[in-house]
A = this chain, B = another copy of it.
Amino acid sequence: MDETSRTRRIAQEYVDRTERRDWDGLSALLDEHVVYEMPQTRERFHGRPTFLRFNQEYPGDWHLRARRVVADGRHAALWVDARVGDEAMDACVWLDLSEDGLITRVTDYWPTSYEPPADRGYPVERW
């Protein structure tokens, strides 16, 4: 398996094992010193234990599904469909992997909905 194929598989597993609350399985994908960043709140955590705890303690009956996995060498981008009850939210997740195929950095974006301008002056569909 080439590097990109391995990255693609690991990125998919990252979402699937988190969704399954398979903490041992998730832990096995992470580098010991994994860095987790949320640029929207300018927060950064270090290390596998804190990373796992953040996920384990995240409130609500959340569910994750990878809508798209884009892998390129030791980088991956995940387009994630996240749901808590009836509420759906998309996440954009950037993964960095080590030479050994362990996740060394996770950068999460959680874009929220907002209202568009009243009139853009050209045809726009809304859904």
Chain A residues proximal to chain B, CB less than 8 Å: 4, 8, 38-46, 50, 53-54, 57, 68-72, 75-77, 79, 90, 92, 94, 109-116, 120-127
A57–B119 alpha-carbon span in the complex (Å):
13
A92–B68 alpha-carbon span in the complex (Å):
13
Could you jot down 25 A-B contacts, CB within 8 Å? A4-B72, A40-B113, A40-B114, A41-B126, A42-B127, A43-B125, A43-B126, A44-B124, A44-B126, A45-B123, A45-B124, A50-B122, A50-B123, A53-B122, A54-B120, A54-B122, A69-B72, A70-B76, A70-B77, A70-B94, A71-B72, A77-B92, A92-B109, A109-B111, A111-B112
